[in-house]
Amino acid sequence: MSAGAIVPEGPRPRHFGWARLGIYAFLIVAALFFLFPLYVMVLTSLKPMAEIRMGGLLAWPSDPTVEPWIKAWTSACTGLRCEGLRVGFWNSVIITIPSAVLAILLGMINGYALSFWRVPWANWMFAILMFGTFIPYQVLFYPLVRIASTLGLFGNLGGIVFVQVVFALPVMTLLFRNYYASLPEELFKAARVDGAGFWRTWFSIMLPLSGPMLVVACILKVTNTWNDYILGLIFAGRDNLPMTVQLNNMVNSTLGEREYNMEMAATLLTALVPLVIYFVSGRWFVRGIAAGAVKG
């Protein structure tokens, strides 16, 4: 800009820049990549098989139908039984609720005890617990199966809940430990001066303050449990198989012509619960995975 040639008075003019165009182009292309599978899933699930056989993955359904959805929910075969995914759905619900409640409760108490109380061996326990996040699931499968069957917790609802809680312990503990550690210690000291003991302090002081982390932990745990496949497959037993396992059975045990529309409807149905949680909770979900991610 030559000195004094122009006399700027107003705000700096906004130039249309190629750089900005490039930024938006990149973001939109990326967004299309991320949306593409959802688009394909929804469209395919609404097409009759005749239309799918003609190809045209991206084409709008000319004769939309909800038939595949109904079939996936009520009468699709998942292995030997043909009662649809609703069985798996309810199994998942029944598995998820006690797993989440127990894991969160334990995580909360652990986090509280670890941040405010000086139990001599607690730091060792926490260190090993964190180390546990690095152990691949598969390492523990054999011992877990043996221990669980000894305890009568293999192949039944108790078994899958037990395993779900065990594997969630490290993250839940870490989540609440970090959260409680961020609270002012004076609060705890004040309660101690007032004569409150371990449980009293937790129940009257810490629990009422745990709201935000409870929401985050709940979202995280429910989503994780719902999306689990391998633990449900191994530990839940034939009558309690969660929705993901039933979905995979349904798709992979098909004989004869595959009903892609129904498969996609079933896939969407399985994804529905976490997706609804995601879209409704928004920022809380992000906080959850960010908090879960920031380890050690």
Partner 1 sequence: MSQVSVRKVDIAFGSVPVLEQLDLEVAPGEFLVLLGPSGCGKSTLLNAIAGLLDVSRGQVWIGDRNVTWAEPKDRGIAMVFQSYALYPQMTVAQNMGFGLKIAGRPREEVDRRVREAAAMLQLTTLLGRKPAALSGGQRQRVAIGRALVRDVGVFLFDEPLSNLDAQLRNELRVEIKRLHQQLGTTMIYVTHDQIEALTLADRIAVMKDRTIQQLATPEEIYLRPANRFVAGFVGSPAMNFHAGAIEAGKSGPAFRRGELSLPLPDRFRDAGGAVELGIRPEHIVIGTGADALPAAVEMVEPMGAETLVWARVADEPFSLRVEHTVKLRPGDRIDLSFPGENVHVFRAGTGKRL
Partner 2 sequence: MAGFRWKTGTVAAAIALLPTACVVLFLFVGGTGWAALVSLTSSKMLANWNFVGFQQYATLFSNPRWLTSLANMVIFGLTYIGSTLVVGFLLAIFLDQRVKGESVFRTIFLYSYATSFIVVGLVWRWIFNPGMGIQDVVRDLGFASFTFDWIVNQRMAIFTIVIAAIWHGAGLVMVIALAGIRGVDAEIWKALKVDGVPAWRAYLHVILPTVRGSILTAAVLMMIGVVRLYDLVVAMTNGGPGSATEVPAKFIVDNLFERQNIGLATAASTSLLVMLLAVIVPWLLLGNARRRSRA
Select from 4-12, 107-115, 127-135, 197-205 the region that touches partner 1 (CB under 8 A). 4-12
Select from 1-9, 69-77, 210-218, 281-289 the region that touches partner 2 (CB under 8 A). 281-289
Minimum CB distance to partner 2 smaller for 49 or for 70: 49
Shortest distance, CB of residue 110 to partner 2, whole angstroms?
Answer: 5
Select from 10-18, 52-60, 79-87, 165-173 the region that touches partner 1 (CB under 8 A). 10-18
Joined together, the tokens standing for residue 240 give 């309690």
User: CA-to-CA distance for 250 and 258, rounded, in angstroms?
Assistant: 10
Minimum CB distance to partner 2 smaller for 113 or for 218: 113
Indicate which single residue of 72, 85, 104, 114 sits in contact with partner 2 (rule: CB under 8 A): 114
Shortest distance, CB of residue 41 to partner 2, whole angstroms?
Answer: 5
| 117 is an interface residue for partner 2 by CB under 8 A | yes
Task: Note whether 205 and 87 are within 8 A (CB).
Answer: no
In the DSSP assignment, the letter for residue 240 is G
Shortest distance, CB of residue 64 to partner 2, whole angstroms?
Answer: 18
Binding residues among 12-71 for partner 1 as defined by CB under 8 A:
12-13
| 58 is an interface residue for partner 2 by CB under 8 A | yes
First to last CA, the chain: 51
Residue in 198, 88, 180, 75 with CA at minimum distance from that of residue 126: 180
Shortest distance, CB of residue 39 to partner 1, whole angstroms?
Answer: 37
Task: Note whether 209 and 183 are within 8 A (CB).
Answer: yes
User: CA-to-CA distance for 217 and 100, rounded, in angstroms?
Assistant: 9
User: CA-to-CA distance for 276 and 152, rounded, in angstroms?
Assistant: 35
Question: Quick one: what does residue 12 bind among partner 1, partner 2, none, with the CB cut-off 5 to 8 Å set by partner type?
Answer: partner 1
Residue in 176, 5, 161 with CA at minimum distance from that of residue 95: 161
Strand, coil or helix: 48: coil
- x-marked contacts with partner 2 along 225-264 as a string, rule CB under 8 A: -xxxxx---x---------x--xx--xx-------x--xx
# of chain residues touching partner 2 (CB under 8 A): 92
What is the phi-psi region of residue 154: left when phi exceeds 0, alpha when psi lies from -120 to 50, beta otherwise? beta
Residue in 66, 64, 48 with CA at minimum distance from that of residue 268: 66
| 101 is an interface residue for partner 2 by CB under 8 A | no
Question: At 3, which amino acid appears?
Answer: A
Shortest distance, CB of residue 20 to partner 1, whole angstroms?
Answer: 16
Q: Binding residues for partner 1, per CB under 8 A? A: 1, 3-4, 6-13
